């Protein structure tokens, strides 16, 4: 089973990954969304965001923009990162991921 995290703001993809305080989580199994729920990032996060999401069992992150260093850090924690997606409804993004139609682009931020 995969656990996909998408940063959200007002129930839409938050284009600013690093400032997102809310993530929509999708559990995906047998090529379908099994469950979805929201998690709030603690205001006093004692570890880095990749570590925190890894501790939550996240396997994949879908986002609009993110820095090279963050992608590397997520990858070190065995979390795949899909970058440069359109500002769409999170559920539609996950469905595109499942269907193999998710469009990504090299939208990595310079650091």
Domains observed in the chain: 2-109 (3.30.420.130)
pTM above 0.85, yes or no: yes
C-alpha 36/C-alpha 104 separation (Å) is 22
Query: For the segment 29-75, what is each residue's pLDDT rounded down to a tens digit?
Result: 999 999 999 999 988 877 788 999 999 999 999 999 888 888 899 99
Query: For the segment 75-90, what is each residue's pLDDT rounded down to a tens digit?
Result: 999 999 999 898 889 9
Look at residue 95 and give its three-state secondary structure. Answer: helix
Q: How far is CA 108 from CA 17, 21, 40, in A?
A: 11, 20, 24
Sign of the dihedral defined by the CA atoms of residues 86, 67, 7, 4, in that order: positive
pLDDT reading at 109 higher than 80: no
């Amino acid at each position: 089973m995969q656990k996909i995290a998408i940063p959200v703001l007002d129930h839409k993809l938050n284009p600013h990954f690093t400032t997102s305080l809310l993530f929509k989580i999708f559990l995906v199994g047998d090529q379908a969304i099994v469950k979805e729920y929201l998690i709030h990032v603690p205001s006093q996060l004692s570890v880095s965001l990749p570590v925190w999401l890894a501790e939550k069992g996240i396997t994949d992150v879908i986002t609009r923009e993110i820095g090279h260093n963050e992608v590397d850090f997520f990858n070190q924690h065995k979390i795949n990162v899909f970058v440069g997606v359109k500002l769409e409804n999170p559920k539609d993004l996950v469905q595109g991921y499942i269907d193999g139609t998710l469009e990504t682009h090299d939208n990595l931020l310079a650091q």
